[in-house]
Structure 1
Amino acid sequence: MSDKQRAHALQWSAGQAELVAAADAGQLRYGQDGVLREHPQPGQAGRTVADGRLVPLLRAGFLTRDGERVAVTADGRAAVRLWRRWRPAPVERDRSEERQTPLRPLLGGEEAARRATAAAEDERRRAAERDDLYSALERLHAWEARDDRLWEVWARVQGITYRLGRRRPRGWVPTAEEIAKHFIAQELVDELRADAESPQERPEVPHTPALRSRELPPLPAAPDAAEQLDLFAP
């Protein structure tokens, strides 16, 4: 993918581009009163910024909180330079939309790469849990089929025709007379004897709650840059 395509894929509003540029220039800081302000000129009070506008930029890996400062990440700095170089048309968004509309990470950037890695790891974990579940279900179905076979032998000997509420006694094995009278197959007798010697407990099926995607920690701040970018300069 070309740099021009990466720039257009940012889908920033003009205000969002200005916020990232201000962060890259070290101009976004929280005051002692907890209010975020942009300080274009050192020593001045600065302009108040609604920090809710930062949320999509933080989540997409362009900005990060570094103490009292809001700083760009390496992705944010690269994105600012792509924006300046290719000047894509800003997306029209009001302040509410700037807070609520998710942004995609920089294509080919660090955030996109680690999201892909995390997604692949989550899929591996889901696949392992599925395999464990399917194996447990196979063991359970085999146990139930065996239990049905052995119950039917006991029920035939006892003259029972329905199962509701009736369980085969633990350790029960037919006598030689019962084996002959009811024509019980030798393999069933062997299973009953084996079960009497070493009863098989009903396998448990693991409870697997829905796997939530892992939350990634914020990216680190990029090293300080000496230059300040004017994104919309001629």
Structure 2
Amino acid sequence: MKRLLPVVAVFLAVAASAWAQDVSAQKAVYNSIEKNLGSYKKVKAKGPDGAALTGWIDTDDVPVKILAKLKGETDEYYVGPDGKLAFVYREWDKDGAKVEERFYMDAEGIVKWLSTEKNAPVMHGEDYREMWYALIKSNVEYSKVLAPEKPATSAEVKAADTRMTEGKFLRIDEGDYFHWVMKDDATGEEATFFILKPDASVEAVVSDPEKFVGRKCRVTWKESTERIPEAGQKMDVQQILSVSWK
């Protein structure tokens, strides 16, 4: 029996090491935001789920902290300098008792979860993944309400380097953002455009794309750098502006 003790000790050491994930980066984000909270622009709004929102917005119009209050639940979201969600503090009531949860995240998912709930459920890999997606989704939706992107003015659209593509409309792909997909007459291949700030002609297709499948069209689009919250950064994208039909 004594021979097994070193093996057990090694196992316990490995288990303890795996549980003690390094969350110093996430704590640094939290501490920095809280320390400088007074330097951010503070705004209030109502979320799409009815949550009472308070946001602290930095100079890049990114909400670095969001406080969301729902009946019986309060969530606080903290975003790192890379624009990605780093930490979420959740407080909710269970049978009259306060439960606190802390979610520490990196670019790959939740790295550590702490809860004061008695008999808390055991979370597995897929559970962590679903929770991570849900937290990111809520943060993105709240961010759009607190710091909405300003639509381009007519003058800005005209001044932009716009281009045209002719071809056949195929479909609207859905994801974090809608994408316009068409067959380019010039190349014979599929061309895809972000749908970010569409006019009425594009919105009509998004609302009922089946009506337009297979029709010949001319698309006006531009290349631009946009803040994409889901990606946690600014990206160069090709976005559709308008469409006309042949």
Structure showing greater radius of gyration is 1
What's the TM-score, normalizing by structure 2?
0.21
Structure number with higher relative contact order (C-alpha < 8 Å, ≥ 6 residues apart): 1
Higher helix share: 1
User: What TM-score comes out, normalization by structure 1 length?
Assistant: 0.22
Q: Which has the higher strand share?
A: 2
